Structure 1
């Protein structure tokens, strides 16, 4: 009896089903934690979620009404320019001057599907294979993945709570090589809430100019600063950097519009044109209804933003106080955004409910299982031994969640 003839698929050499480039990307840890918390709550478990980086407030009514009106406009039922509605690009330029003192032209603005697309397209427009990007850590999970997708190499500069999670010029210089092309700069920071003082922003910007580096600065949390901290836009603080600087921003955090998916990048016209060409093939225009909502947001006043900031400030002080009451936890006071980033290295190796977590990832798992509290481990942000907790949730839920942590870790 003759042997069965193998199928072409069986006889072909083993091949990757997913490309190496995309297969190397990890899932967003913050979204994964949030999804798990929501699934557990749907199953009836009273999980308190500190994972998601989004305001718990609804989008202001006047913005929603602008979207409703846009739905009825026939011109928004069709394709519009891939780079964004002209009136929104103009409004973003005006808003940038109003809020940060940085003067740009509408042609320097590209409207994107959220800040994530702006970040990826900026790196894709700037990087060739092997170009290095200096990335201060802790960093938001998407940054290194966007760099790698664009062919670049992220080079981490690790900071910690002893310096308020601020990178110095000396640290950045130590990381610079002949392959360095871009510095990623984020202030206020996700995940730490760190805000760079203006003099340090200026010093870092001048260092970048001196060495001919590009800077990609993420300003998504510009309006969420507290106490004596002040936001400084690097291209405004260091005007000579403007021709080698890309600014990323959006409406998500300031106006409680994470689900609307509208962001933008601002930069030199040739870079913006290149990124717009990429976007024309990747997604075409951002949803016109969402763009109309964003137009209402950026041209309106900041009254709703001020009310949200007041609530975040109150929660910020509460969460820092309560976390620092736990033996083995050290939590510096964040000056911006809506995250606390405590060191939990003093808890690692300690017996907790019969277990001894050796990493912050193991500790996060223990908190979810034993206290029904969802947090994101520091490994997701490039620094093991920490946890990120978003305080963009209701006051009662915040107190309940940290109280559970206190009881478990006490």
Structure 2
């Protein structure tokens, strides 16, 4: 018997990489995960890098899932999701944000909000379409736009404007190929929000240029000094908006991967076709848990939001006291302090902070244009961890 010729791992990797789609091969890995992986497993490092609640999913939500499993409810659900869950989502959105949707054909349950955004882009994008993305923004928008054949076009937002999107900057970015505007307010990574008055001129530009909007509102419940305003609730915007949200942040259900998309039935129908050919349906046990969260989880949600609000104030004050300018985030659970006074780039600051202060933060540059000179720090951690992290960063600053 002839032994097959052995190859080294490096040679094998080189020989197989030529089969990869160039677009996918050349996409860099997530800048967030890089610093998370560096900190992972090291007990001496405090990580403020990942946007994940430090709360466990409420017990009654977990119990509903366990009870469902004990009864043997492990089958497929309808592609769009359990009818009762879609009804609960529609009712919740209408009561909370005045956005009416028909559960039967305008609500789709997805595997996290990320799948919903991907489905919307794949359903809407024709190769070469330009996708307008206010930045700094969540790190996934640009890669999934490119994978879907679209051309991401960043629109810079600024700390002096509290990182709000302005009608003028939106108009300046529009070309004949512009088709979709992706919004994320409250913002990851800046914590910026948009008010009803902020949305009105944006809506006017959207209508004038016949844009479709994908509105990622996963942090809708995490607003502090005023109530969240959904872009879909602005007059004339409902049918041209795909509202995306989920259960990860507000209900501490990140690992459950439960999200949803709502919009005009023609768009939701197209998204559902892709969904049914790729994942069939969201996990049935997760849908049961999500339904329980909507029916009986509002008190726990409110308690978690109040805790984030307290931590928000603590973190912003702490950064200012150690010499880092920090605008006050009005939503989500991120602070986005400026590190420009240090003379370091955001990547240099994050790396030195990790190895010298033993605190993991995310360099702002990974969030696109306008992110350089800032770092993202999640305050979805315990007060004791936050206080220790700020103390360590303060000592690190003094040693620079």
Identify which of 337, 340, 346 aligns with 1:342.
337
1:29 CA displacement: 2.2
Partner of 2:8: none
CA distance in 2, matches of 1:51, 1:15: 30
Runs of 4+ in 1 over 3 A off after TM superposition: none
What do the CA deviations read for 1:363-407 (whole angstroms, capped 9, x no partner)?
A: 100000001000000111012111000000000000000110000
Partner of 1:38: 40
What is the DSSP-based 3-state SS (H/G/I as helix, E as strand, rest coil) of the residue aligned with 2:179? strand
What do the CA deviations read for 1:5-59 (whole angstroms, capped 9, x no partner)?
A: xxxx99xx99713211211322222233223222323xxxx11110010110111
What is the DSSP-based 3-state SS (H/G/I as helix, E as strand, rest coil) of the residue aligned with 2:237? helix
Whether the 8 Å contact between 2:157 and 2:164 is mirrored in structure 1 is yes
CA distance in 2, matches of 1:115, 1:253: 11
Partner of 2:130: 132
Identify which of 187, 190, 199 aligns with 1:189.
187
CA distance in 2, matches of 1:82, 1:286: 8
CA distance in 2, matches of 1:14, 1:235: 45
Identify which of 387, 391, 396 aligns with 1:399.
387
1:286 CA displacement: 1.0
Correspondence 1:98 to 2:100: no
Whether the 8 Å contact between 2:185 and 2:220 is mirrored in structure 1 is yes
CA distance in 2, matches of 1:105, 1:200: 27
**TM-score when normalising by structure 1:** 0.90
CA distance in 2, matches of 1:174, 1:148: 21
Partner of 2:252: 256
5+ unaligned residues in a row in structure 2: which ranges? 1-10
CA distance in 1, matches of 2:238, 2:320: 41
Partner of 1:4: none
What is the DSSP-based 3-state SS (H/G/I as helix, E as strand, rest coil) of the residue aligned with 1:40? coil
Q: Which has the higher mean CA deviation after the structures are superposed, 25-34 or 116-125?
A: 25-34
CA distance in 2, matches of 1:212, 1:320: 39
Partner of 2:319: 323
Correspondence 1:87 to 2:73: no
Whether the 8 Å contact between 1:202 and 1:234 is mirrored in structure 2 is no
1:301 CA displacement: 4.6
CA distance in 1, matches of 2:17, 2:56: 47
5+ unaligned residues in a row in structure 1: which ranges? 1-8, 349-356
Partner of 2:210: 212
Compared with structure 1, are the counterparts of its residues 299 and 326 closer, same or farther at alpha carbon in structure 2 (3 Å cutoff)? Answer: same
CA distance in 2, matches of 1:291, 1:213: 32
Q: How does 1:66-77 map to 2 (within 5 A)?
A: 66-74=64-72, 76-77=73-74
Whether the 8 Å contact between 2:186 and 2:192 is mirrored in structure 1 is yes
CA distance in 2, matches of 1:123, 1:19: 19
